[in-house]
Amino acid sequence: MFVKIQRKKAADGSEMLYATVVENKRVGGKVVQRTVLNIGRVEPEQVPYLKAAWAKDKPRLVWD
């Protein structure tokens, strides 16, 4: 599973980010992505923390 970030443009030209948790599965010989959790709208500053939280190898976010 991983966090997928999608960019959407609003009518006024501003860009919004939406986050979903996605799982890859192989169905009939093809890889299909299935949405597990819809997180919703996120700010650009939140994206690295979301990706770190759902990563397999957890990075350290705090220094000694």
Task: Kindly report the pTM of this predicted structure.
Answer: 0.75
Q: Which of 42, 46, 34 is nearest to 2 (CA)?
A: 34
Give the integer Cα–Cα distance in Å for 1 and 33. Answer: 10
- The proportion of the chain whose per-residue pLDDT surpasses 70, expressed as a percent, equals 91
- The proportion of the chain whose per-residue pLDDT surpasses 90, expressed as a percent, equals 64
Q: Which of 9, 27, 26 is nearest to 18 (CA)?
A: 9
62: DSSP letter = S
* pLDDT value of residue 52: 85
For the chain, give every domain's residue range: 2-53
Confidence of residue 49 (pLDDT cuts 50, 70, 90): confident
Instruction: Indicate if the pLDDT at residue 62 is higher than 90.
Output: no
